[in-house]
Amino acid sequence: MSKTRKTIILEGEEIEIYKGRSMAQETWRRLKRNKGAMIGIIFLVALMLATTVASFVYDYDKDIIAMSKDRFMPPSKDHILGTDNMGRDIFARVLYGAKYSLVISLGSTAIGLAVGLFLGALAGYYGGLIDNIVMRVTDIFYSIPYIMIAVVVVSMLGTSTMNLLLAMALGTFSNFARIGRASVMTVRDQEFIEAGRAIGLPTWKTIVKHVLPNCLSPIIVQTTLKVGSNIISASSLSFLGVGVTPPTPEWGAMLSDGRSYIRSSGWMCLFPGLAIMFTVLALNLLGDGLRDAMDPKLKR
Amino acid sequence: MEKVLEVKDLVVRYETDDGIVHAINGLSFSIDKERTLGLVGETGAGKTTAALSILNLVPDPPGVIAGGSIILDGKDVLSMGEKELERMRGNDVAMIFQDPMTALNPVIPVGQQIAESLEIHEGLSREEAMEKAKQMLEQVGISASRAYDYPHQLSGGMKQRVVIAIALACQPSLLIADEPTTALDVTIQAQVLSLMKGLIDNSHMSMLLITHDLGVVAEVCDDVAVMYAGRIVEIGSADDIFNHTLHPYTEGLFDSLPNLKARGEDLIPIKGLMPDPMHLPQGCSFHPRCPYATEACKTREPELKKAEGSHYVACIRYNESSFCLRRDKDAR
Amino acid sequence: MIPTLLVTSLLIFWAMDLAGGDPVNQILPENATYEQREILREQMGFNDPFMVRYFRYIGGILSGDMGKSYISGLDVFGTFMGRLHMTLLLGGSALIFACLISVPLGIYTALHQNTWKDTLATVLALFGVSMPNFWLGLMLILLFSLKLGWLPSGGTGGIQYLVLPAVTVGLSLAALLTRTTRSAMLDVIRQDYMTTAKAKGASYRRVIYNHGLRNAMIPIVTAVGMQFSYVMTGSALAETVFGWPGIGRLVVDSINKRDTPMVTGSIILCCVLMAIINLAVDIVYAFCDPRIKAQYSGRS
């Protein structure tokens, strides 16, 4: 009997873990039935494999940025996606470039996620003045078009991949701050926080334990979709010349190159754009699938 | 006596991704003119689905009305065309919904929501309908000046009064009330109930009152039907059901009820839970929870059989001459 | 709104101060002497402390002077306003185009959920939101100007010059709004009050348009309101692709030329514009939702 009593809290934790696991299982079970989401996952896994293989097969200096005399070749047997204005193989560059797009969007989303959740939780937990300040700042970043934020940051810090990442994180964090704030606020005043305090648990510990499982599904869904939209943002910025610069084979930078030759060599514009579209499409399919799978209300 | 509504062998399923939910499995009952039938059962017995079926409003998909007939004034609701259904809904049969908080449209003034029925069925102009809607509001005890208020400006009890006014606007011959008082405070419940009863009696309507509250049934109903897992297990006059209980489930419902007059007495809950309508047990659906169940109950489905007069029961053991519920034994 | 704008302007002023480099280099020719530079610096107050310069700038704005471009010497406010109508024309027609497509399509797909038409439209919308819109612009040029020769590939003039840019911005927007409208409508048709309306004997049309759409308009208007920052971003990109002389291109060009007063002024004016638009959206919102109207007029 005394043993049971000692493990009450422990047991509570065990129940939590058990719950989490079964929720993940349930989500996966429903996700598996969603054709779109499965196509998305397969595409993303294949893309990651392909870009990993590509970075071994191709030599950056020789195959990716070096010039050759086969300039402006339309798609053919030798170059299935054709070559660009420097005679470089577009297929190799698109595959190799996936790495840049994925890393930049994943990185900026991760930074935005961490900063946003922290700020949002802070605002939701303390309320009052802190809440006001944080939310006003969030509002500012929310209402200014991300492109302007990014353009200002990049021109302030200089054009580099790291700065692009930072600039995009600034455009990303406000979404997550809202989620974090809302989830903390819904549990902040609930009775189990009071109960936790009664047995001597610090409030923030109870909050972390209860808030995280509660806001996990919106965060996962939002992250997936945000990674997708950040791929578009990154390529847009590169296209405007404030992101990754040529000759790096980032998709947006390739489009920026191709734009000058659109009259004669349309394929230079076509393929990097298709790569962006299909990757973002895969992420959106996965995000939509996750949202449907995690939202019990939508269960038909 | 003239029947207003006759439901026969109704079968309704919900075909979901996770499986088929057997909501209604051969439901039969009827309502006589100017009588009130109480449909009693636990949550999940299929009461609301039964009510929606009568208006042919079972959400489709996933709901499928797979069989049976619902005869209303000599016509089968299930074979009516869309135009006919529209003429019937709100005019011949009206419905009061369970939750007044969500049953009213939040962006339309309440007066206009009442007037809408009148515009549709009585061909009144907008102004005439609004005038009549104001009269309806007064009838349900709300000042006519609130006709231009939006639902969020009214209290829960007032919203339910508005829902009642919408239902009664066109003087339907049958009123279906789906747990009309469950979402309200106890004191408001009594008010709303007596209001409804008064209005029904005045306008010679019949009513199907769906509830899980036996107190409400005793108060309002002439006849009672007890529903379990999508079937009627016992049906009869209020006196039959309350004083001459025949089905073990009905007995269980009464035993679960706290008795204010005998306060020390233990409650006898029905053991177990309502079966999952996706996986109904074989034989009598109630047998896993029934204290009187025998081997035969596990395999044979009981039919609704006449006991006495208008009193019917669906229990295999009722046919045994020696069978007797504990309640009756105690009484002897 | 005013404090938000003050904070925003401070942030931008600070960022551009760090980013701008030495403004004297932009104004004077390269062979200017040290003395000439010093005199100009003193004249323009570049040697004053940061806060002094900031308040002088704000003071200038309050008296209607946002400074002059380093490059062209033109008045910032005047230049911005001279370009504003082009962006409003582009953004406005894109928005109208998007609403005309997306609202009916969203409603239609919601009402025909899970039919092949719904699936087709949903997939198309998903493609639409997965596309970078500058790339869509390039593809439209490729098809309609270069291959078919139906429409000009850039510049300004008659309505034919507006079509491609507006469709570029509008299609992505339409895809987004179709998704929003569809889910808003799906949400609404599951509500109890829709059953109440049907139970009254209201016809299908009446139920959908009188009861459903009036409620669905609330999230749709919100979505349209939130897309204005997207419209601005999209316009900036489309302006670059199509050589459309709007404010998006003004900002990007000014950044590339390190024209600090122009950038600072334009971004602050953009924020003012966004604030005005948000206010307008709030007013429309109040018309759609009596609960909010009541809040404004002080009734419960």
pLDDT band at A244 (very low <50, low <70, confident <90, very high): confident
CATH superfamily for A35-298 is MetI-like (1.10.3720.10)
pLDDT at A14 (0 to 100): 35
* Nearest CB to C201; choose among B52, B90, B103: B90
Mean pLDDT for all residues in chain B = 85
The mean pLDDT value for A159-188 works out to: 84
Judge whether residue A203 has pLDDT over 90.
no
* Nearest CB to B105; choose among C114, C215, C294: C215
Closest Cα in chain C, distance from residue B95 (Å): 7
pLDDT at B330 (0 to 100): 64
* DSSP H/E element including B306: strand B305-308
Q: Which residues of B touch C (CB under 8 A)?
A: 52, 55, 57, 61, 82, 85-91, 94-95, 97, 99, 102-109, 116-117, 120-121, 150, 152-153, 163, 166
Judge whether residue A20 has pLDDT over 70.
no
CA nearest to C174, candidates C73, C100, C235? C100
Lowest average pLDDT, out of A204-208, C165-169, C245-249, goes to A204-208
Tell which of B17, B58, B86 to mutate to test the C interface (max C CBs under 10 Å).
Answer: B86
Give dist(CA B88, CA C105) in Å, integer.
Answer: 32
Query: Residue A120: CB partners within 8 Å, gap ≥ 6?
Result: A134, A138, A176, A177, A178, A179, A180, A181, A182, A184
Cβ neighbours, 10 Å, residue C6: 11
Chains touching chain C at 3 or more Cβ pairs under 8 angstroms?
Answer: A, B
Closest Cα in chain A, distance from residue B154 (Å): 26
pLDDT tens for each residue of C208-244: 888 888 888 888 888 887 777 778 778 888 888 888 8
pLDDT at A6 (0 to 100): 30
CA nearest to A227, candidates A287, A180, A161, A141? A287
pLDDT at B248 (0 to 100): 87
* Nearest CB to A147; choose among C138, C233, C263: C233
Environment class of residue B231 by beta-carbon count within 10 Å: exposed (0-12), middle (13-18) or buried (19+)? Answer: buried
Same domain, C111 and C162: yes
Angle between helices A146-157 and C260-288 (to 10 degrees): 160
Cα separation values, C288 from A298, B83, C213, Å: 26, 31, 10
Lowest average pLDDT, out of A121-130, B263-272, B306-315, C60-69, goes to B263-272
C192: containing domain = 76-299
pLDDT band at C294 (very low <50, low <70, confident <90, very high): low
pLDDT band at A115 (very low <50, low <70, confident <90, very high): very high
**C70 lies in a domain?**
no
Chain C positions in Cβ-Cβ contact with residue B88 (cut-off 8 Å): 201
pLDDT band at A42 (very low <50, low <70, confident <90, very high): very high
Closest Cα in chain B, distance from residue A33 (Å): 10
Judge whether residue A159 has pLDDT over 60.
yes
Give dist(CA A232, CA C130) in Å, integer.
Answer: 8
How many CA atoms are closer than 13 Å to the CA of B313, on its beta-carbon side? Answer: 17
Which phi and psi angles does B218 have, rounded to 5°?
-60, -35
Lowest average pLDDT, out of A58-67, A95-104, B153-162, goes to A58-67
Chain C positions in Cβ-Cβ contact with residue A270 (cut-off 8 Å): 139, 142
Strands B19-32 and B63-72: what pairing?
A: unpaired
**C159 lies in a domain?**
yes
pLDDT at C208 (0 to 100): 87
Chain A positions in Cβ-Cβ contact with residue B62 (cut-off 8 Å): 300
Cα separation values, C163 from A174, C40, C234, Å: 34, 47, 15
Chain A positions in Cβ-Cβ contact with residue C7 (cut-off 8 Å): 136-137, 140
Same domain, C196 and C58: no
* Nearest CB to C200; choose among B102, B109, B116: B116
Judge whether residue A63 has pLDDT over 80.
no
Chains touching chain B at 3 or more Cβ pairs under 8 angstroms?
Answer: A, C
Same domain, C51 and C80: no
Same domain, C279 and C179: yes
Q: How many domains does chain C have?
A: 2
Q: Is C134–A241 a contact, with Cβ atoms under 8 angstroms apart?
A: no
pLDDT band at B45 (very low <50, low <70, confident <90, very high): confident
pLDDT band at C295 (very low <50, low <70, confident <90, very high): low
**C67 lies in a domain?**
no
Interface check A297 vs B, CB under 8 A: no
Cβ neighbours, 10 Å, residue C252: 22
Query: Residue A146: CB partners within 8 Å, gap ≥ 6?
Result: A168, A171, A233, C229, C233
Write out residues 202-261 of C within 8 Å (CB-CB) of B. 202-204, 206, 210-211, 214-215, 218
Query: Residue A51: CB partners within 8 Å, gap ≥ 6?
Result: A95, A96, A98, A99, A102
The mean pLDDT value for C164-192 works out to: 88
Cα separation values, B29 from A201, A297, B209, B288, Å: 58, 33, 13, 25
Chain A positions in Cβ-Cβ contact with residue C18 (cut-off 8 Å): 156
Give dist(CA B194, CA B175) in Å, integer.
Answer: 15
User: Token digits for C228?
Assistant: 């204005």
Judge whether residue A230 has pLDDT over 50.
yes
Judge whether residue B287 has pLDDT over 80.
yes
Judge whether residue B181 has pLDDT over 90.
no
pLDDT band at C19 (very low <50, low <70, confident <90, very high): low
Q: Which residue has the higher pLDDT, B113 or A88?
A: B113
Interface check C193 vs B, CB under 8 A: yes
Same domain, C90 and C228: yes
pLDDT at A45 (0 to 100): 93
Expressed in angstroms, the distance from the first to the final Cα of chain C is 25
Q: Is B16–A300 a contact, with Cβ atoms under 8 angstroms apart?
A: yes
Interface check A263 vs B, CB under 8 A: no
Q: Domain boundaries in chain A?
A: 1-31, 35-298
Give dist(CA A236, CA C233) in Å, integer.
Answer: 10
Tell which of B14, B17, B60, B278 to mutate to test the A interface (max A CBs under 10 Å).
Answer: B17
* Residue in C closest to B115 by C-alpha: C200
Q: Is the predicted ipTM greater than 0.95, yes or no?
A: no
Give dist(CA A186, CA B8) in Å, integer.
Answer: 48
CA B168 to chain centre: 17
Judge whether residue A107 has pLDDT over 90.
yes
Interface check A197 vs B, CB under 8 A: no
pLDDT at B331 (0 to 100): 57
Q: Is C130–A155 a contact, with Cβ atoms under 8 angstroms apart?
A: no
Closest Cα in chain B, distance from residue A134 (Å): 32
State pTM to two decimals: 0.78
The mean pLDDT value for C68-76 works out to: 81
List of domains in chain B? 3-221 (3.40.50.300), 230-237+244-331 (no CATH)
* Residue in B closest to C217 by C-alpha: B107
Lowest average pLDDT, out of A169-178, A190-199, C131-140, goes to A190-199
Same domain, C45 and C83: no
Task: Check which CATH number belongs to the domain holding C229 and give it.
Answer: 1.10.3720.10
